[in-house]
Structure 1
Amino acid sequence: MSDGVSSTAEDIRLLSTEVFLDPYPTYALLRDKAPAHWDEQLNGWILTRYDDVAEALRDHETFSSRRIGLLAARGGADPSPPMRQFIRLATGWMWMLDPPEHTRVRKLMSQGFSPRDIRNLEPLVSEIVADLVDEMVAKDEFDLIPDFSYAVPALVLVTLYGLPKSDAPLITRWCDTIKVFLGGAPDLAASGGPAAESLQHMMTYLTGVIAERRAEPRDDLITRLVHAEEDGDRLADEELCSNLLLLMVATFETSIDLLGNGLLGLLSQRDQWELLKADPTTIPGAVEEVLRYDGPVQLTHRLVTRDVEIHGQRIAKGQLAYLVRGAANRDPAKFRDPDRIDIRRTETGHVGLGAGVHYCIGAGLARLEGVTALTELSRRIPDLSLATDKPHRWRADNLQFRGLATLPATSGRS
């Protein structure tokens, strides 16, 4: 069969364009034939069944988050000084820490993301979404990725963080190169250098912003985090800067692909879009369902801290494990008819936003953006449809983060 898609688990190449374009047939094969699968390219074990993934996500003692060294070493990645600096800075990221260090940093960094804080953001998000839909209503054709799915979280980010709107493309470019390397690019070694360079540029940028907020506080999230305190504890500047970078990625990149992947799924499975329009009370459930069906974050990696046996395979202490959330969320042992969207689905427990202590810190904001977007689009462009003459295109550049590059659509009026 073609590269990346195989009838036997032994021949699978996860770092291939075919798998990036549609990983779900490969996930199904691995779940069925090799639920604990060793991958030479990724230098780690691939876990794909729901019970295994969900249990590992919650067992931070056995499946540790301190894995940046192994990730950076995959594929003979660049051992240059910039890469060593990348490893040093990334070691302090929340998602590279275990409790109690993780608990301390997360408490400080989550200030501004409480349920009350998210409710206070509703007018901002509603205004941004409404303005973008105004522009789309005036046109018969548009691309839902740059015109909407990218624009919503980009505008929310710069407003929430108090950054110039003109800086959004620059910040996004830095985040993308870091994301591609961490997510498993086809050429891991080649992607390491640009990731290290982008990290340094972004750290320099954020260091300047932090210094400005210390001198002249504003009413924005960065100011709140600069002055965040928990029992007399504060984050050091480099620690704050490094985790602020991570937080921006968590609240931005995930939202882009939640909106894009979700709209593609709902508009492709038209009965679900019609149901959503007819009954807006289903919209929160629709957001959860598209997170399960085609989530923006497909996997999480962990460092194994003790020898364990899973499905007859010995996973040794010190090895890397890839917990494939996208595969777990389509496990028929957990979810009925998992390859279909069902916005009235009653089964709960998807791991699209993670689980355990590392549950996505930006989950509340992502959900708010998703609900607001679907509410406004279904009300004001009810006949929204995919363009029949312009197919959508996936980015297909890494294994971990799944999203679209284009999604041409029409208002359905003509």
Structure 2
Amino acid sequence: MTTHAPAPTERYLLSPDMIADPYGHLDALRDHAPVHWSPLHHAWLVTGYDQVMRCLRDPAVSADRVRPLMDAVPQGAREDAERAFGILSRWMVFNDPPQHRRLRQVFQEAFSARAVARYRAFTEKATRAVLARKATPGRTGDLLADVAKPLPALVFARWLGIPPTDGPSFWYWNTRVADLVLGTAQEESEYRASLQALVSLDDYLGALVARRRAEPGDDLISQVLREGRVGDSVTEEEFVGMLTQMAFAGGETTSNLIANTVLALHTRPDQLAAVRAEPELAQGAVEETLRLDGPSKMSIRTAARDLDLDGRTLRAGDRVFLVTAAANRDPARFPDPGRFDVRRSGATHLGFGFGAHFCIGAALARLVAVAAVRTLVCDHPGLTLADPGRPAWQPSLLNRGLTALPVHY
């Protein structure tokens, strides 16, 4: 068992100060004990890089958390929940091997580097179009609302084959589903809206799959249908359920990645100057954001059976928080881990997970984020933060996303 520093005072991870800046506390937890039982959260907090990697590889640590999500729904909204949680149970992110592998293989070719590269020209064109409309020199705006949200929405809608006229409803449903999955829904009315949105999204995508069977297009759904696995290795119901996961994950994660990277660069003038001088370093800026202040703080797992981890005994049924936000700052793995360095190389960060549950959409998210960051930094040298004080962050246990990013274009 690894123990170094004195035990830090227990802190609630959803308190305002922890939402604003969780890293000092998470670093202290990791330095004290990389595997720590938190009575306040009724969970193990795993904060060391090696220990998180062990959990991501160990089949004794299960990704199935549909039941905990359902348990959080207020009693009055439970009657609306049965179908919605049936949909969530088909998300591959909530399934363990071999079920996870079977579901994931349906999308493997569509998410290959070669397939994603087909969208590079469209992504760069969409980036220029969004910035031409919103990033007018001299204007003040919210970069999150102006660029970071609409750009991934455009690309992911094109990729999924969502007709532009359906966009507003499609992205409204996605926002409400995010409230459910990321734990930001609090009131019964918010849970009801989120559950209904997930059902509506599933209905819509089911109808779109039927339409693409009759009228194939140049999009993800048509490509997977052509490969013949739907109806063979997975049912159509499973396929549609997984599409709701794709729709939710793509926009939210990429939007936050863009905004967090722009914030990181514009609070570090030397790194901003480096990217301006060498635009290819936009890729390094995105990777360093994923490591240091990425869109995901942790993932939640459950011990499927008793296991020993770093000298601690995790019992079957225990909740396990895999705190990648702390693991990615582990000094045993990353030299000078608190420094943002667009030229950093070496150890692999866990910003998109690892192993079987490595984010299947990582290549597309990177493509969009790098295009946005490179264009904003290199083509808009007048861009500055309108409020360089402490930014406001979404109150979420799992994700790390700004509520707004005011800028002068």
Question: 1-side partners of 2:390 and 2:164: how far apart?
Answer: 27
Of 55, 68, 80, 1:70 maps to 68
Aligned residues of 2:393 and 2:401 also touching (Cα < 8 A):
yes
Q: How does 1:338-353 map to 2 (within 5 A)?
A: 338-353=337-352
Question: 2-side partners of 1:310 and 1:187: how far apart?
Answer: 33
Aligned CA distance change for structure 1 residues 131 and 185 (closer, same or farther; 3 Å): closer
Aligned residues of 1:70 and 1:320 also touching (Cα < 8 A):
no
Aligned residues of 2:35 and 2:45 also touching (Cα < 8 A):
yes
Aligned residues of 1:31 and 1:327 also touching (Cα < 8 A):
yes
Tell me the secondary structure at the aligned position of residue 159 of structure 1: helix
Shift of 1:78: 6.1
Tell me the secondary structure at the aligned position of residue 302 of structure 1: strand
Computed over aligned residues only, the root mean square deviation of the Cα atoms, in angstroms, reads 2.5
Matched, 1:91 2:62: no
For 1:278, the equivalent position in structure 2 comes to 277
Shift of 1:379: 2.2
For 2:25, the equivalent position in structure 1 comes to 26
**TM-score w.r.t. structure 1 length?**
0.89
Map Cα deviations across residues 371-409 of structure 1 (whole Å, 9 max, x no partner): 212222222112321114x75743423111111121111
Range with greater deviation from structure 2 (269-278 or 204-213): 204-213
Tell me the secondary structure at the aligned position of residue 320 of structure 2: strand
Aligned residues of 2:51 and 2:310 also touching (Cα < 8 A):
no
Matched, 1:324 2:327: no
For 1:377, the equivalent position in structure 2 comes to 376
Map Cα deviations across residues 107-145 of structure 1 (whole Å, 9 max, x no partner): 112332111111111110010011122234533123211
Shift of 1:236: 1.7
Range with greater deviation from structure 2 (314-323 or 39-48): 39-48
Shift of 1:19: 1.6
Map Cα deviations across residues 215-259 of structure 1 (whole Å, 9 max, x no partner): 222222222233443498343221111100101122221110110
Question: 2:84 is aligned with what amino acid?
Answer: F
Question: 2-side partners of 1:188 and 1:262: how far apart?
Answer: 32
Shift of 1:199: 1.3
Aligned residues of 1:178 and 1:195 also touching (Cα < 8 A):
yes
Shift of 1:196: 2.0
Aligned CA distance change for structure 1 residues 231 and 374 (closer, same or farther; 3 Å): closer
For 1:161, the equivalent position in structure 2 comes to 160
Tell me the secondary structure at the aligned position of residue 106 of structure 2: helix
Question: 1:88 is aligned with what amino acid?
Answer: G
Question: 1-side partners of 2:89 and 2:328: how far apart?
Answer: 29
Shift of 1:156: 0.6
Q: How does 1:253-264 map to 2 (within 5 A)?
A: 253-264=252-263
Range with greater deviation from structure 2 (192-201 or 236-245): 192-201
Question: 1-side partners of 2:170 and 2:78: how far apart?
Answer: 24
Of 102, 126, 129, 1:128 maps to 126
Shift of 1:51: 1.2
Question: 1-side partners of 2:225 and 2:324: how far apart?
Answer: 33
Question: 1-side partners of 2:96 and 2:299: how far apart?
Answer: 14
Query: How many correspondences in the alignment?
Result: 403
Aligned CA distance change for structure 1 residues 182 and 343 (closer, same or farther; 3 Å): same
Aligned residues of 2:12 and 2:41 also touching (Cα < 8 A):
no
Question: 2-side partners of 1:382 and 1:11: how far apart?
Answer: 43
Question: 1-side partners of 2:135 and 2:291: how far apart?
Answer: 29
For 2:399, the equivalent position in structure 1 comes to 401
Aligned residues of 2:177 and 2:248 also touching (Cα < 8 A):
no
Q: How does 1:50-69 map to 2 (within 5 A)?
A: 50-59=49-58, 61-69=59-67
Aligned residues of 1:299 and 1:326 also touching (Cα < 8 A):
yes
Map Cα deviations across residues 148-204 of structure 1 (whole Å, 9 max, x no partner): 111110111222222133433433332233323333448497764443222112112
Question: 1:279 is aligned with what amino acid?
Answer: E
Tell me the secondary structure at the aligned position of residue 406 of structure 1: coil
Range with greater deviation from structure 2 (247-256 or 134-143): 134-143
Map Cα deviations across residues 324-359 of structure 1 (whole Å, 9 max, x no partner): 111111122222222221011123210000001111
Aligned residues of 1:257 and 1:404 also touching (Cα < 8 A):
yes
Question: 1-side partners of 2:17 and 2:110: how far apart?
Answer: 40
Tell me the secondary structure at the aligned position of residue 322 of structure 1: strand
Aligned CA distance change for structure 1 residues 8 and 375 (closer, same or farther; 3 Å): same
Aligned residues of 2:254 and 2:365 also touching (Cα < 8 A):
yes
Map Cα deviations across residues 71-106 of structure 1 (whole Å, 9 max, x no partner): 322486667232233332211211111222211211
Question: 1:266 is aligned with what amino acid?
Answer: L
For 2:362, the equivalent position in structure 1 comes to 363
Range with greater deviation from structure 2 (120-129 or 22-31): 22-31
Aligned residues of 1:94 and 1:243 also touching (Cα < 8 A):
yes
Aligned CA distance change for structure 1 residues 189 and 336 (closer, same or farther; 3 Å): farther
Tell me the secondary structure at the aligned position of residue 11 of structure 1: coil
Q: Which runs of 5+ in 2 are unaligned?
A: 1-5
Q: Which runs of 5+ in 1 are unaligned?
A: 1-6
For 2:3, the equivalent position in structure 1 comes to none
Question: 1-side partners of 2:187 and 2:96: how far apart?
Answer: 25
Question: 2:236 is aligned with what amino acid?
Answer: D
Aligned CA distance change for structure 1 residues 232 and 173 (closer, same or farther; 3 Å): closer
Aligned CA distance change for structure 1 residues 43 and 183 (closer, same or farther; 3 Å): farther
Tell me the secondary structure at the aligned position of residue 347 of structure 1: coil
For 2:98, the equivalent position in structure 1 comes to 100
For 1:3, the equivalent position in structure 2 comes to none
Range with greater deviation from structure 2 (378-387 or 224-233): 224-233
Aligned residues of 1:391 and 1:407 also touching (Cα < 8 A):
no
Matched, 1:172 2:171: yes
Aligned residues of 1:391 and 1:408 also touching (Cα < 8 A):
no
Matched, 1:138 2:136: yes
Question: 2:62 is aligned with what amino acid?
Answer: S
Map Cα deviations across residues 257-299 of structure 1 (whole Å, 9 max, x no partner): 1101111011111110101111223222222111111111111
Question: 1-side partners of 2:289 and 2:25: how far apart?
Answer: 20
